[in-house]
Structure 1
Amino acid sequence: MSTLDAKTRGRTAPGRLRALDAYLCRFEPRLLSRVDGAWARAVFVDVGFGEHPWTTLESAEAFRVLQPELTVIGVELEEARALAAQVHAGPRTHFRQGGFELPLSADEPARLVRAMNLLRQGPAERVSDVHHALGRFLLPSGLLVEGSSDPEGSVLTAHLLRRASADGDAPPMREALLFHTDFRNGFAPLLFRDWLPRDLRRRVRPGEPMHTFFQAWMEAWRQAREAGHTSPPDAFRESVTRLGTRLGGVAMDAWLLDSGYLVWRPEGGVSP
């Protein structure tokens, strides 16, 4: 156990990260399916799967539609949980005890590392160190996904961090923020504030980029409702469309808007 690691409750629910799986399958198909060179050995790592490996197994099923031979490795800090998950192991599905210093061998580079709902507690200052530690295992252009969701997966936010070069000492680039809701709890932009990644939760204050972002989205949402877009899905779609006209980096893909996703790629990346 490294100084970066901290025990979590480990509670999760089936389906909690399916919206994240769906996004990755649609917008990162080459990352998930690539098999040339070192990518033939590149794995997907699910860090901190908890008491039950439901999310790991669900992701394995989703991603193997794109790459049937994909190796999936579930990592859990508590040894008892890692041992209990072995009943679900198979030729391409492995469960290992470990933390942010991932238990990968030299011939297991990572194409995708996911660490959801692990950093909500503890100091925000450790987040960049965790990103750096996890990013070391990625192949160039590999992706690290780190963030939070509510217990049911109805509201989710995540950093999308890309390893830009072969330099293992370089931290992954903070490429984008991903937001998703299934509208089970209605919709207003501030619905996401409490589920921001740990290092951004206290940055929604005047003078900070996250405050500017939410202020612009709230204004777009109010205007959308005043224009008659009052149902949660309609208000979401219209508010994101209006936000995109006043704030750079907002993805305007129709599937995203219709499915409750917002992706924000500010120029220069997401400010820490």
Structure 2
Amino acid sequence: MARAQGPEGRHTRGTTGTNRLRRVDRWIAHLPEFRRAPDPLVVDLGYGANGVTTLELAARLRGVRDDVELLGLEIDPERVARAQAQLESTRRGETVFAADARVSFARGGFEIPLAGDRRPAVIRAFNVLRQYDEQDVRGAWDRMTARLAPGGVLVEGTCDEIGRVCSWIDVAASGEPLRFTVSLRLAGLERPSVVAERLPKALIHRNVPGERIHDLLSALDREWDRAAALAPFGPTQRWMAAVAALRASGVPVLGGRARWRLGELTVPWDAVRPS
């Protein structure tokens, strides 16, 4: 079948904010799919109004692998031109980012245009599928994961405007979802289920009784309430106690205290898979 002309996908709102994606950046930096990749190429798909989040991701990943390379892709040619101007300013030493950062920007969408046979180890697609219908998600995942290197991963999710409430799904190169993660700023957190408003498109309409994601968020809220006695010791201690209790109750919580301390909760996809 001939490839469609031009980038595949729809224009996003273009909302961009400095440090907005810090939580998912931190997640990608620890992923074995990135750390062990023979070619640590990372694609930032749909970076928004300007290239700051791509440059931030490059800086954070460089702390793990100094050979990391970032490609930012956008459908809108004006956004690409704006990001390239930012990159030129960075090359001149006029920004906080390293002048020699291995970053580039281009026009592209779900087809992930790359020269030759090169394939990325990681694709980040954040706040990209929010305006799509739920029935379109699987096709978008399949299109992106088909471009991944063997053993690569797609990290697809969403967050609020300032990056305090985030959630995402890790999808394997096979197209099969692997894990679901919630990441919250714990200071000032009232209830963990606030993330319901920022679930990935594959789950946001499934937060109803009878669905696994609803069960998970309800159980997390209950454990958060039960851990209220720890509130004087700080929200981090309260959160960690809630997550530990959730796992003790039989929920297959992944990771350990080092990840929980960051406000994260990760479960296998089967724990939230839509019915």
Tell whether the structures are fold-level matches, with TM greater than 0.5.
yes
Deviations 1:87-121 (A, max 9, x none): 20667311011111112223321100000011112
Shift of 1:74: 0.2
**1:204 paired to 2:207:** yes
RMSD (Å), alpha carbons:
2.1
Question: Partners of 1:134 and 1:269 in 2: how far apart?
Answer: 24
Shift of 1:9: 1.6
**1:32 paired to 2:34:** yes
Segments of 4+ moved more than 4 angstroms: 1-4
Identical residues among aligned pairs (%): 28
Contact kept in structure 1, 2:7 and 2:110, CA below 8 Å: no
Question: Partners of 1:119 and 1:64 in 2: how far apart?
Answer: 27
Shift of 1:2: 7.0
Contact kept in structure 2, 1:229 and 1:238, CA below 8 Å: no
Distance verdict in 2 for CA 1:185–1:134, change over 3 Å: farther
AA aligned opposite 1:271: R
1:255 aligned residue (255, 258, 270): 258
Is there any run of 5+ residues in structure 1 with no aligned partner, and where? 164-169
**1:102 paired to 2:112:** yes
AA aligned opposite 2:196: R
Deviates more, 1:82-91 or 1:55-64: 82-91
- SS of 1:138's partner is coil
2:241 aligned residue (234, 238, 254): 238
1:192 aligned residue (192, 195, 199): 195
Shift of 1:185: 4.2
Is there any run of 5+ residues in structure 2 with no aligned partner, and where? 89-99
Distance verdict in 2 for CA 1:3–1:23, change over 3 Å: closer
Question: Partners of 2:101 and 2:259 in 1: how far apart?
Answer: 34
2:222 aligned residue (214, 219, 234): 219
1:7 aligned residue (11, 23, 32): 11
AA aligned opposite 2:10: A
Question: Partners of 2:62 and 2:157 in 1: how far apart?
Answer: 23
2:26 aligned residue (22, 26, 51): 22
1:176 aligned residue (179, 185, 200): 179
Contact kept in structure 2, 1:46 and 1:115, CA below 8 Å: yes
